[in-house]
Amino acid sequence: MTPEELERATDHELLLAHVDGDPFAFGALFHRHRDRLWAVALRTMGNREDAADGLQDGLVAAYRRAAGFRGDAAVTTWLHRVVANACLDRLRAAKVRRAEPLPDDLEEYRGRGSVASASTEDPADVSVADERRSQVLAALRQLPDEQRAALVLVDMEGYPVAEAAAMLDCAVGTVKSRCSRGRARLAELLAPLLAAEHDADHPAYRNPDPPGPVESGDPPRGPPAPA
């Protein structure tokens, strides 16, 4: 395909072209969806290094298994399924439970892409925002892997439950149950944070100048396509 044809092609056409031997089709497909694939890997794995490994595992699997795509779901759903399962496989194998702070782009990637930093940010406000994100993500890390994956897809990425179930290759009821249990557990873990924020909302403590957006880095370009 020419660059123009790659740009106009549907996801399914790109996947078929890749299967037929087009050397650029899979890269174009990944580039089209890289932001959300990266967000899913990052939030599921918990840190950039492991997220990059999980994303690469998923892309290698998708690259090699493309010929087996049955077309019973959207290509993007299939890609997310492969990446999510690759990340879960890594978590199950390594029992990743790291304590280092996670990237501060949990909210920024919800809208896809990075947010430019405001030049008039108050460092104190940024510090509070960073601490809040760290506490939320630390709590998220304490959930069982399957609950975390369900919450990432449904609550953070905004996928319908049915689509998340297709990505995780489980029943809709299972995703609902995992999300319900995960939310209940997060509410317990984050109770002190929610109480503190409630106190901070009191007029006596309210900051009249809301903080500006926090700068976040771009997602990685992704691993080179396997040979």
Per DSSP, 104 falls in state S
Domain residues of the chain, as ranges?
A: 1-98, 120-213
Q: pLDDT grade, residue 222 (50/70/90)? A: low
Q: How far apart are CA 174 and CA 155, in angstroms?
A: 15
CATH of domain 120-213: 1.10.10.10
Mention the CATH class of domain 1-98. mainly alpha
Continuous segment of H or E residues that includes residue 136: helix 123-141
Summarize the chain as % helix, strand, coil (round to 5): 65, 0, 35
What's the pLDDT tens digit per position in 96-135? 444 444 444 444 444 443 333 334 444 545 555 667 767 7
The more confidently predicted of residues 44 and 103 is 44
In degrees, rounded to 5, the angle at the alpha carbon of residue 93 between the alpha carbons of residues 57 and 102 is 70
